Chains A and B, each alone.
Chain A
């Protein structure tokens, strides 16, 4: 009975949020700060140190080799294949946020790529103008009002308490959909494809960062705010914040 009551409570919150997002965004989202919260910094730094060391010694050099050896079309095909499988996540989360047009576009892209695009190897949807909106569970939770979230550095990279379930689900999706076909070799290719695509970002970090841990963490928070607002976060927030920063420098 209690469970049923809880269930209907969540359904009501979901319904209200869906209604609100359909009308232009959940009221709790606008104006809420997306500030960095890192109470687990000592542990996060240790995890970052270990993962970064493994990455620099093994994963990044292998990903560079993969990129050098694979022809561009083949590298793009592999990336397209796994991105297409993960597009189901975007379809579901666009719908959960009330962005039904985005959900429709992603669903159409998924269907076209899976059929005409030879199982997702060719991104035919992009050529037809079907944009990949890249929505995930973390963004859905943010739209529903979970804006503040503590930072966690996972073995797979930067995340937060709010974003972790979605990150894990997205990583697991290809295995779920391919079931027996997702062998160790396929998972390694998936990992290499993801790492190779991220090489320009890690190179940019290495060129600019003085404290790579802080650089990665803050870039992650900013990027998440950007995607949560669908690429259009409030401009005044930054200009006002900048004025405060500038005054505190004097």
Chain B
């Protein structure tokens, strides 16, 4: 069943999308193979016969580096170069599900600070580590539209009748959507699709029956200097893993196709969210890669894969996430009547009819006051003095002056219009002034306005260390003396320099 009246993800052209899929050996964290490519084209598949050999995995990841770093516009690899004002077009990185996002985190852990191998390789791997770290962190930011797990996008676009554990399987979701027939037949198709692993882990039986022999052959051959055995084993492992990787890759392609063919429009708030994502890309990825300090977003440093040890960095990112959530929640609702209906049912929005429009005061000081009546017994989470805005006309704000319970079960609200009283200056006339009597009898939905700029401002202000209470609020905890070896976390010394 479709969820929402509009799609909550933008449909970008294929060249702006990179699909990534991983597999790993049972019990190991490192990737065993990687599929990478554009939708609609065969992926490039990189594998290593023995993922427990650090050097082999590093070599494999190094092959991924130019493709990934070009796509995420690393300053050295992007066609736009290091220009911080470049108008980089939106892009996306799609993975099958959350386990593949975790692999990005693993690559972040492994390679961000590595000094292993030749200088050229470890610097390249550092870049991959940073890119994966940023993609993973961005995946946690509410409303971001760059790092996308196919399962998340599908769940956001459709409602599936299944328990949450099963909703993490893209094959299961796609079969539900694609299978024909009765509910039972679709359920059976979904259950069948679910039997094929889509996570980074392989089916243990497949790994045991199809790969174990060749891994042993490879290792023995390497030990005994039997190049032919090594080559044969490597080839067989690659072939088997490629099948698995390509299946995961195709699941993402199918998800993209489902979203691409969906007849619903894109939510009209999406361009702003895309812009916010690209701003984050500029600030938190390209800027940090170029080691450029920023007055608002803080000094340049390489974020730790684990957490933010520096208090201002932690608080600043916390506020950015709060602002992002606020923006997403309040922006998309204007372009989606189903989202509005959900908010009305939960009492966070008001739906009613304007029964009276009057002006208080005189002349240019006229203050428009609306009386709105809602019907039905629904909960009410807005209160007197709450500020709301008109759904579809987000810049028109109202403040609730009074709330009266009606005998019929609904409420009567007296609302003072505080913003966009006269309509837009360069409008086409379709937006009536808030004092217009024509507004009477019009149905109106009032939702929470976005206050994301407040949290954004806090994310800048919290970097200020030259404050009288800084000895308490901004003191850096003694992690420099803690068990954090040099080069495995962010450089706190650099961050604390005056």
Q: Do A and B interact?
A: no
User: Which residues of chain A have a CB within 8 Å of any CB of chain B?
Assistant: none
